[in-house]
Copies of this chain bind each other. A is one copy, B any other.
Amino acid sequence: MIASLAARYLSELDMFMRQIVDSAPQEPEFAVMLRYPLGWVDAQGSPYNHPTGKRIRPLLLLLCAEATGGDWRQAIPAAAAVELLHNFSLIHDDIQDDSPTRHNRPTVWKIWGRSQAINAGDAMFSLAYVALQRLAQSTATSPVALKCWDIFNRTCLELTRGQHLDMRFESQQQVTVDEYLSMISGKSAALIGAAAELGALIGSGSENTAAHFASFGYNLGMAFQIHDDILGIWGDPSVTGKSAATDIISRKKSLPVLYGLSKSPELVQVYAKPNFSDADVAEAVRLLNSVNALDYTRQSEEVYYRKALDSLGQGSSGRAYDDLAELSEALFARTY
């Protein structure tokens, strides 16, 4: 179903995003830096189409607009804003994490250096607001546009709070499960919650409906991230495209690991080693299984997923509910 949604929405979204980026002041090299991460040009500026992400957030937003009785085209500025904001955060993330590649291409900082990449990210951030402000030119009423702006601002702050915690945890000896949940709440769930909220607000004009959708999106985002944590340890490499137990190897402080560390002193000992051998990785997985970390994490995912569907049920019914429930299901269609 995502494929049929994508067909309806994505070409219009793409056209609008290009208009927004074209509206920025044009400096040749700068223009390339903004279009490259969106997959529209190569590093030399030659047009091509590179697959860069599934545009899940704008798709969710547009579907929520339609599901709440609105015209999805009216929500295109908000959908573009959410996608541009996501891309801004990736540009800065890659600098902060020192990541050389994304989507099988060199990252922006790897090509143009860190200073220019910081600035390109800042420009992408500005473009997200340029896109959102276009709500004022659509048929959305002024109060709706101003309220969307407020939601977006709070989301940006949540993103930076989550990112702050994520970076801090790297050097923090002990991270609790609650701290971790607070981090992913900002870093991952906030933007998915905002996508659903913005879509519903534009679609319905009702803050009450939008609040139910905010909760739907937020809890879906939490479940989505926790699902990712499961894949990072127990995911099938042939499906995820990553090595087995990749999050163990990278010592990622994901939910199952933090839970395991809180339950298994033996696992704490393994994690005290400066380097992991293959045997250490296998032992870590064995210890996680011995404290039922997979069950714990699955249950945690399930709780958020149920909350998401409950909130959805409070904000919608009939066909709209069915569509969004199906979309939510599809988001989790990766095997583990």
Residues on A close to B: CB < 8 A? 24-25, 27, 29-30, 33, 92, 95-96, 114-116, 118-123, 125-127, 129-130, 133, 136, 142-143, 145-146, 149-150, 152-154, 156-161, 163-165, 167-168, 186
Given the complex, which residues of B lie within 8 Å of A30, measured CB to CB? 160-161, 164
**Nearest-Cβ distance from residue A20 to partner chain B, whole angstroms:** 10
Given the complex, which residues of B lie within 8 Å of A29, measured CB to CB? 164, 168
User: In whole angstroms, what is the CA distance A24 to B162 when docked?
Assistant: 12
Q: Of all chain B residues, which has the CB nearest A33? A: B164
Q: Which residue of A27, A122, A129, A136 has the most chain B CB atoms within 10 A of its CB atom?
A: A122
Given the complex, which residues of B lie within 8 Å of A25, measured CB to CB? 157-158, 161, 186
Given A146-B145, A164-B27, are A127 and B96 also a contact pair (CB < 8 Å)?
no
Given the complex, which residues of B lie within 8 Å of A145, measured CB to CB? 146
16 extra interchain contacts, Cβ-Cβ under 8 A, other than A27-B161, A115-B167, A146-B146? A25-B157, A25-B186, A29-B168, A114-B114, A116-B167, A116-B168, A122-B160, A125-B125, A126-B156, A129-B129, A129-B149, A130-B153, A130-B157, A133-B146, A136-B146, A136-B150
In the complex, which of the residues B115, B133, B156, B164 contacts A150, with contact meaning CB atoms closer than 8 Å?
B133
Given A27-B164, A126-B153, are A119 and B96 also a contact pair (CB < 8 Å)?
yes
Q: Of all chain B residues, which has the CB nearest A190? A: B25
User: In whole angstroms, what is the CA distance A118 to B167 when docked?
Assistant: 11
CB pair B142 A156 closer than 8 Å: no
Given the complex, which residues of B lie within 8 Å of A121, measured CB to CB? 118, 122
In the complex, which of the residues B27, B133, B158, B160 contacts A149, with contact meaning CB atoms closer than 8 Å?
B133
User: In whole angstroms, what is the CA distance A270 to B33 when docked?
Assistant: 34
**Nearest-Cβ distance from residue A33 to partner chain B, whole angstroms:** 8
Given A25-B186, A133-B146, A146-B145, are A119 and B157 also a contact pair (CB < 8 Å)?
no
Given the complex, which residues of B lie within 8 Å of A154, measured CB to CB? 130
Given the complex, which residues of B lie within 8 Å of A157, measured CB to CB? 24-25, 123, 126-127, 130
